[in-house]
């Protein structure tokens, strides 16, 4: 009898947990927590500039991929438009060899890496990312399937054809994102890509994303 009662209690607890998980599925509140690694490749000669911010203070490292010493920086909280010079990180390359830049840190939520002639960008290891600005590069593909807190993505002025954009839309999450003020709108910018006018924007809008 006791054994039967115990089994019944365990089953009830498990059922309650399942219901709780189902109710929370697809609804994420932005908190900025999470470890992350971002990698990108570039053959740009001269100055490369990256802007990084978070929802909480912390530290992160940048390996510029050219044998120079790895840098450790303080992560600042985002204050709109990266106005503080503490968000900006620069490096100069003396030639046009292909290099891989690796950024590793906790609570990185904002990344701006435009105008860096990036040939690839991998952000799947940075799950706390909410804003990604990677416009004006040479990207031919982009995958954000692991970035389930993302609310703004600007990949304008790249080399994304219709198939690449449709594939990107397929990796966008369909979660409802909230913060302390309510539901956050999700925006994507795809101006001046080869596939801008021929891609299937409905793939993204069906998931609650707005085009601007």
Report if residue 15 sits inside a domain. Answer: no
Cβ of 109: how many Cβ atoms within 10 Å? 27
DSSP label at residue 9: H
Joined tokens for residue 173: 């999450």
Report if residue 22 sits inside a domain. Answer: no
Contact 75, 63 (CB under 8 A): no
Query: What is the side-by-side order of every strand in the sheet holding 35-42?
Result: 71-75, 58-63, 99-106, 35-42, 118-122
Report if residue 110 sits inside a domain. Answer: yes
d(CA 165, CA 58): 34
Report if residue 1 sits inside a domain. Answer: no
CA distances (Å), 119 to each of 99, 138, 196, in order? 10, 5, 19
Report if residue 59 sits inside a domain. Answer: yes
Report if residue 82 sits inside a domain. Answer: yes
Domain residues for the domain of 57 are 30-211
Q: Which of 192, 141, 131 is nearest to 169 (CA)?
A: 141
pLDDT of residue 1: 44
As for how many domains the chain has, the answer is: 1
Report if residue 6 sits inside a domain. Answer: no
Report if residue 39 sits inside a domain. Answer: yes
d(CA 167, CA 182): 29
Contact 19, 96 (CB under 8 A): no
DSSP label at residue 84: S
pLDDT in tens, the chain (212 residues): 434 433 343 344 333 343 333 333 465 444 445 568 999 999 999 999 999 999 887 899 999 999 999 999 999 998 877 777 889 999 999 999 999 999 999 899 999 999 999 999 999 999 999 999 999 999 999 999 999 999 999 999 999 999 999 999 999 999 999 988 899 999 999 999 999 999 999 999 999 999 98
d(CA 145, CA 124): 7
């Amino acid at each position: 009898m006791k054994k039967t009662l115990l089994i019944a209690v365990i089953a009830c607890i498990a059922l309650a947990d399942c219901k709780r998980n189902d109710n929370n599925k697809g609804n994420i509140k932005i908190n900025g927590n999470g470890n992350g690694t971002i990698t990108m490749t570039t053959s740009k000669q001269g100055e490369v500039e990256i802007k990084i911010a978070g929802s909480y203070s912390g530290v992160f490292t940048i390996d510029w991929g050219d044998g120079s010493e790895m840098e450790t920086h303080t992560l600042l909280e985002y204050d709109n438009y990266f106005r503080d010079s503490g968000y900006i990180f620069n490096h100069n390359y003396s030639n046009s060899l292909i290099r891989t830049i690796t950024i590793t840190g906790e609570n990185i939520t904002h990344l701006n890496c435009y105008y860096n002639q990036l040939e690839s960008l991998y952000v799947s290891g940075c799950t706390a990312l909410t804003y990604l600005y990677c416009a004006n590069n040479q990207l031919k593909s982009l995958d954000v399937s692991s970035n389930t807190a993302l609310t703004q993505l600007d990949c304008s002025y790249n080399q994304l054809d219709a198939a690449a954009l449709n594939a990107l839309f397929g990796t966008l999450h369909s979660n409802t994102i909230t913060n302390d003020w309510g539901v956050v709108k999700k925006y994507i910018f795809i101006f001046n890509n080869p596939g801008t006018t021929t891609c299937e924007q409905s793939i993204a809008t069906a998931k609650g994303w707005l085009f601007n």
